[in-house]
Every structure is written in structure tokens, then in C-alpha cells.
Amino acid sequence: MTIEVTTAAMAHGGKAVARHEGQVLFVTGAYPHEVVQAEVTEAKKRHSFARALAIFEPSPHRRAAPCPHFGPCGGCQWQSAEPGAQAEWKREIVADQLRFVGKLGNVEVRPTISPGPEFGYRNRMDFALVGGRPALHREESQELVELSVCLLLVAPLFQLFVDLPIRPLADRVTLRAGVATGETAVLFDDEHGVIHEEVAGHTFRVTDRAFFQANTAGAEELVRLVTEVLAPGPNDRLLDGYAGGGLFAATVGAGCREVVAVESDPVAVADLKANADLVPVRAKFESSRPRLPRSWDLVVVDPPRAGLGREGVETVVAGHPRTVALVACDPASFARDAALFTNAGYRLEYAQPVDMFPQTFHIEIVGAFSR
């Protein structure tokens, strides 16, 4: 079914919201305040999904997308919108999720920080391979789109991508670079490789596919923001949950009396040992309580997309910290966790969106909680 609708706000997930015959409609390929012709792709009881076919009245923030693959390629959703508009939509989405999901309507959501260039920022990218050439999925599809370029890659990876050797039998490739060190790795399928990256004056070893922030300028900004939230002092014990290779333990924790770091991935745990002067707790954070000290003064937690959940928040607050920095990559789970912290007696002082992934709907958020 083809309809004409006027979009309102941008929704979590990167689609514009419209109303049609009293029902909420999420429109892929549309931006806020546009009049679009849309095809309904999925009709549900409470809301429906549609895809923009034609833009009758475009947003003033529309621009020509620089990448020839924009549209079919599912890697970027917002490339045809100006970066300032993207940043503001991200701020609004965080505020909406806090209001509607977390029931926290009065929280200060600061203007989005854009830490680096809007293109050429990804120090890591995972691609499928089609006939040896890199490909990404079409949005919400299993179909692969073969790519001749990817404008999100940092310069050394852009060149590696273009010159990628053909491995006819390989299914996927991970490209990794240390922006400051100039080191690169091309990892086909399950191949191994190590690079080093510098953030906040500290050198990090990053092994294989272990997690490391994919935007180096963004990582630098996260360290600055978490330091600002926690204001660590020499008498403080810091708990770093979901510690990865030690980005926060080795930087924010440097000024603390002690750092307790929890991480479940064995490869990241080995990096963490090498990168920060500590013995990590290798465990799932939510169930790590028996292996942790009785109390801690400060916490930084940076969980995967699903967030901390009830058990994760209980683990954080069990040590009675005075301040918690929650680093989140999903605004809905951030809002859910913020509500759990509020119920546990903490106040969300402010939320700071960071645009780690321009051209996409992905949002990084730093939340500052105190007792």
C-alpha cells in the first residue's frame, strides 16, 4: 500500500515517525518534517513500518550523500542529512527515551558532542566477502551489497580496503588500524593479529577481534567525559565493569588508589592485563559480586547494547559508590538502566550524547549518576 504522510520526530532506530489513520508509522529513508510518499512494508496492531519512495517536501537538512553506495548499503542510514541535524536528532532521541522508557522527563540531555571528522573515522570495520570483495548487508535484509569504497574508514584502512587481496574461499574480513601508531591488520575469517592504539597518552594492545572503541577520537572523548563525571582522587577505588582492553581502567583509573576491572572475554582479559597494571576479574559482570571487594567509591560501566539490566545495576550499587558513569550504546537500554539507578537511590545528573558514528543512527551516551 502506498500512502502520503508528514513525518514528525526521528525515532530510536533511525526511522522518522509519522501518523497515519491514527496509527504510528516508522518510515525508513525519511527525515523529520518531510512530506513523503511511502510504501507500507509491515502492518502491526499498534504500529506499522514503511519505506519512503519519494520525498515531496524535503527537510532543509537534506544533502546529497557523498558515498555512491548510500541507500542500498545498510552501513549508513543518515548520510543524506547534514551532520548538525544528525547530532540534534541523537540528542532528541536520548531525551525521548529517557522520558518515555525511563519515565525521567526532567533530565538535562546535553547537546551532542561530535568528537571527530564526519567521515574517515572508523578504525575497525567487519565486512562480509562476495567473490573476495567487501560487502555489507542491505538494511533489514540478508542480501549483501558489494562495495567499491567505504567512506567511514580511517585513511589507512580506506587504502587497504581498495587494495584488498582476493581470498576466494574467505567469508568475512575484519580491518583494524591504530590511528596514532599507524599499525594495521587484515584478518580474514578467524585469522589472528595484533595492533596498538594510543588514547589519552596511553598505548593499548588490541588483539584479534576483541572490543576496542571503533572511533579513536571518540574514545579520547569518552575518557575525558568519564574523568569529568567521576573526578577520581588518589584515595578512590574504581570499579570498571565490562572493561574491554582497559580503556578506562588504564586512563581514568591512573589517578586512583585501586582499580577493579571485570571483563568476560578471555582475549580482552589478556589485553587488559597487558594494558593496565592490574589483575582483572574474568567473569560476567552481573554475577561477579562474590569476587569483588565489599565497596568501591566510583564506577564506570560500559555494557553491550542490552545494557546493565536489574542484575548489572544491583552489582554496581552493591559497593555504595558515590558516583557512577554509565557509558551506553543504546538509548532505550540507557533509559531502562537510568530508571533502575533512580529506584536504587541515584540521581541522573545529566546525559551526554556523543556522536561516535556519524552517518548512522547509532548513539553513544555517557550518563552521570550520583547518590
Ligand X SMILES: C[S@@+](CC[C@H](N)C(=O)[O-])C[C@H]1O[C@@H](n2cnc3c(N)ncnc32)[C@H](O)[C@@H]1O
User: Residue 54's CB: how many other CB atoms inside 10 A?
Assistant: 11
Q: Which of residues 10-49 bind ligand X (CB under 6 A)?
A: none
Contact with ligand X (CB under 6 A): which of 197, 236, 265, 364? 265
Q: How far apart are CA 171 and CA 148, in angstroms?
A: 17
Q: Using CB under 6 A, count the residues that bind ligand X.
A: 19
The binding track of 172-191 with respect to ligand X, each residue x by CB under 6 A or -, is --------------------
The sign of the torsion formed by the CA atoms of 93, 97, 100, 106 equals negative
Q: How far apart are CA 70 and CA 76, in angstroms?
A: 7
Residue 242 makes contact with ligand X by CB under 6 A: yes
What are the backbone angles phi and psi of residue 224, rounded to the nearest 5°?
-60, -45
Residue 118 makes contact with ligand X by CB under 6 A: no
DSSP symbols for 227-258: HHHH---TT-EEEEES-TTTHHHHHGGGGSSE
Here the cell at position 266 is 578471555
Residue 233 makes contact with ligand X by CB under 6 A: no
Q: How far apart are CA 162 and CA 174, in angstroms?
A: 14
Residue entry with cell 565489599: 294
User: In angstroms, how far is the first alpha carbon of the chain from the final one?
Assistant: 52
Residue 80 makes contact with ligand X by CB under 6 A: no
Q: How far apart are CA 271 and CA 222, in angstroms?
A: 19
Residue 263 makes contact with ligand X by CB under 6 A: yes
At closest approach, how far in Å is the CB of 68 from ligand X?
Answer: 31
**CB hemisphere CA count around 164 (13 angstroms):** 30
150 an active-site residue? no
Contact with ligand X (CB under 6 A): which of 248, 296, 341, 357? 248
Q: How far apart are CA 82 and CA 264, in angstroms?
A: 39
Contact with ligand X (CB under 6 A): which of 17, 262, 298, 317? 262
At closest approach, how far in Å is the CB of 288 from ligand X?
Answer: 7
Q: How far apart are CA 184 and CA 116, in angstroms?
A: 20
Q: Taking CB positions, which residue lies at the least distance from ligand X?
A: 244
Please say whether the beta carbons of 69 and 48 come within 8 A: no
Residue 243 makes contact with ligand X by CB under 6 A: yes
Closer CB to ligand X, 31 or 211, in the complex = 211
| Span interacting with ligand X, options 55-63, 79-87, 211-219, 351-359, rule CB under 6 A | 211-219
Closer CB to ligand X, 247 or 368, in the complex = 247
Contact with ligand X (CB under 6 A): which of 63, 284, 347, 371? 284
Bridge partners for 300 per DSSP: 240, 325
Q: Which of 67, 73, 256, 329 is catalytic?
A: 329
Residue 357 makes contact with ligand X by CB under 6 A: no
At closest approach, how far in Å is the CB of 364 from ligand X?
Answer: 9
At closest approach, how far in Å is the CB of 52 from ligand X?
Answer: 32
- Residues serving a catalytic function are 329
Q: Which parts of this chain interact with ligand X (CB under 6 A)? A: 211-213, 242-245, 247-248, 262-265, 268, 284-286, 302, 304
